[in-house]
């Protein structure tokens, strides 16, 4: 199933705190990182393991470790950066790729303006991070970019998802699993998610 709404009480509690109208920048940033950790934990739960033998304190011991190339985390500028530390807390050896997407004000289409990807994307799982899945344009464009580079395993972590964005992703990238703390009601006329969190980038960076 491509959309996973995490119903864990800690996630439900924390996303509720983020909806406070007068939430401080500090609190919003902390909660973003905390939920990012929990979403990352969920998104990694089916990663394949391999068994290896190591020298333990009492002699050889067989341990399990995650198999394959290191994951790449892909924050979408700017708000995605707010989730980066939380995800790296859970996956500390991940490599980081960065994508910047702007919106063409005439066509309203997403236009990539920055990309810096790590190598060997064909062998890595990509975890895209962006707090708000609104229309889905930026997320779909980021998946397009990753797939053009050969990446075949893509997941997305978003704090809040709108049905409109989920529908676009289902239509364009049904192979991408999305992990979210909440599926909200709808987009308003300006493209904000209702009830949503407001402008997540402004709240993370204190620019509102
Ligand atoms: N981006 C945001 O920051 N908030 C929304 O509600 C939608 C897009």
Structural domains of the chain in order of their starting residue, each with its CATH number? 3-205 (3.40.50.2020)
pLDDT per position as a tens digit, 49-108: 999 999 999 999 999 999 999 999 999 999 999 999 999 999 999 999 999 999 888 887
Residue 158: beta bridge partners? 180
Q: Whose CA is nearest to atom 3 of ligand 1?
A: 199
Rounded distance from Cα 157 to ligand 1 centre (Å): 15
- What is the reported pTM? 0.96
How many whole angstroms separate alpha carbon 109 and alpha carbon 168? 13
192 CA distance to ligand 1 middle (Å): 5
Which residue among 81, 199, 204, 207 has the greatest number of ligand 1 atoms within 8 angstroms of its CB, and so is best to mutate?
A: 199
Q: What are phi and psi of 14, to 5 degrees?
A: -70, -40
Tokens of 169: 């992703």
Radius of gyration, CA atoms only, the chain = 18
SS3 155: strand
Residue 208 has pLDDT above 90, yes or no: no
User: Using one digit for the tens of pLDDT, what is the confidence trace for 129-166?
Assistant: 999 999 999 999 999 999 999 999 999 999 999 999 99
> Looking at this predicted complex, what is its ipTM?
0.96
List of E strands, the chain: 3-5, 49-56, 59-66, 72-77, 95-96, 98-103, 110-116, 125-129, 132-133, 153-161, 177-183, 186-187, 193-194
């Amino acid at each position: 199933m491509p959309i996973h709404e995490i119903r864990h009480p800690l996630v439900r509690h924390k996303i509720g705190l983020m909806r406070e109208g007068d939430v401080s920048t500090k609190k919003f940033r902390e909660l973003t990182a905390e939920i990012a950790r929990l979403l990352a934990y969920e998104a990694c739960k089916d990663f394949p393991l391999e068994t290896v033998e190591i020298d333990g304190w009492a002699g050889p011991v067989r341990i399990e470790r995650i198999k394959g190339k290191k994951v790449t985390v892909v924050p979408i500028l700017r708000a995605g950066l707010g989730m980066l530390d939380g995800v790296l807390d859970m996956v500390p050896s991940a490599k980081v790729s960065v994508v910047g997407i702007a919106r063409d004000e005439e066509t309203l289409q997403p236009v990539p303006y920055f990309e810096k990807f790590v190598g060997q994307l064909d062998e890595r799982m990509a975890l895209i991070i962006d707090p708000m899945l609104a229309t889905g344009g930026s997320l779909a464009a980021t998946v397009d970019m990753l797939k053009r580079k050969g990446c075949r395993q893509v997941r997305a972590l978003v704090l809040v998802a709108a049905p409109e964005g989920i529908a676009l992703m289902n239509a364009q990238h049904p192979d991408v699993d999305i992990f979210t703390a909440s599926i909200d009601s709808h987009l308003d006329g300006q493209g904000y998610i209702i009830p949503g969190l407001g402008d997540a980038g402004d709240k993370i960076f204190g620019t509102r």
